[in-house]
Amino acid sequence: MQLYNTLSAEERAELIDQAGKQRLTLSFYAYAKIENPQQFRNDLFLAWNKLDALGRIYVAQEGINAQMSVSADNFEAFRETLEVYDFMKGIRLNVAVEQDDHSFLKLTIKVRHKIVADGLNDATFDVTKKGIHLKAKEFNKILEDPNTIVVDFRNHYESEVGHFKGAITPDVETFRESLPIINEQLKDFKETKNLVMYCTGGIRCEKASAYYKHQGFKNVYQLEGGIINYAKQIKEEGLESKFIGKNFVFDNRLGERITDDIISQCHQCGKPCDNHTNCINDGCHLLFIQCDDCKAVMENCCSTECLEITHLPLAEQIQLRKGKQVGNKIFRKGKSEKLKFKNSGVLTDEPLDIISKTKDIRQKINAKTKDKKVLVGKAEHYFVKAQVGLFVVENQEINIGDTIVITGPTTGKEELILEKMLVNGKEVAQAKPGDKITFQVPFRIRLSDKLFKIVK
């Protein structure tokens, strides 16, 4: 009986690409009393592994919190696995605004003490006694009431790239830090103000709304389904977006765009930018905002120190990490003295820039496209200063004018038109299996990346 992953992220990514089928990124949560979380976890893994469902899921005695990637072909079968449980019948599934087949590359289900760590130790607190849920239209209306206070219950690195206009954006790294801060700030308004809150998908502000009702606040409201559901509703109903910028998400995409406004800056040069990345140094992994220019110069590193380390032989890098915490154990979310243009706390509601509407050679693939993707080869090297990629052609011929796709766990999925290439050092129009080709690539690629071409 298989209860854990047996494939690496790279192996899973390759299988997804070879299958060439659309996947849906979605999230959901439910607060409920689960008697045996471990058995519940095992049952879910067995059911979802059969459906090739991937994601990061936490279960606890208080419920379930899930962010997942599901094959579109298996969507209804996946929903049926939820309907088995009374507390998940009719559950809302928040489908992502922007799709990426590589949003999750493993199925990880963990048993936790709580699905949302709150730091509370109060036996009288009942998380099911929540505030009033508001749909997008109702939420927009209450925001216009001068008697309303709106609070962002996400962390500083999330609100920095996007938030509701006029919201209080606490300078915190964890949800548990927000609760006492907001309680202290608003203690004089418990009976007089509308306390309105929001988060990414609803799970954090649902617990927060119950907490503040428990603390004596009279008029407590929350955005139903969070920013993800809000974005869907304003699009369907033609409503004005009171949210500005980008919605940070906890998968490989690291964000989905809600409006064209850019309200944050590259943490290294200060240029308007809202693209998060992780420092590529395995001994750092700092989460920060980095523009394409800085990404090319700094090679996806947060500092010159990390850049120098990545150029050392692998054995020396491992030696430097000995005795230190590595990987996600030291994962720091945008807090470093090296980041000159980091903003948190009180944030601007004014855009610094608007994303370009001009057609770039690099484009995201439309998730609904019916074009077939065929594997051509793999990346072998990237020449940073020249912005040139070297690939080995393995399976198919490739021609000037082909639409190609470069994919990888870190790179994501990027599409461009092949306008010029060198084949074994010479400029020609066609390459065949066994050839080595180089061409301009306006973004960093890695050895784990695969090269595909689109077949109409």
- State the catalytic residues: 199
- Alpha helices of 27-74 — where are they, by DSSP H? 37-50
d(CA 160, CA 167): 12
Q: If you search the block for the tokens 């993707």, which residue do you land on?
A: 373
- C-alpha distances (whole Å) from 233 to each of 46, 236, 270 are 34, 5, 33
**Amino acid letter at 201?**
G
Element (H, E) at 220: strand 219-223
- C-alpha distances (whole Å) from 301 to each of 176, 335, 385 are 30, 15, 15
d(CA 194, CA 150): 8
Closest CA to 182 of 172, 244, 120, 201: 172
Element (H, E) at 29: strand 23-31
**Rounded to the nearest 5°, which phi and psi values hold at 318?**
-65, -40
**Cα torsion through 295, 299, 301, 307, rounded to 10:** -150
**Amino acid letter at 366?**
N
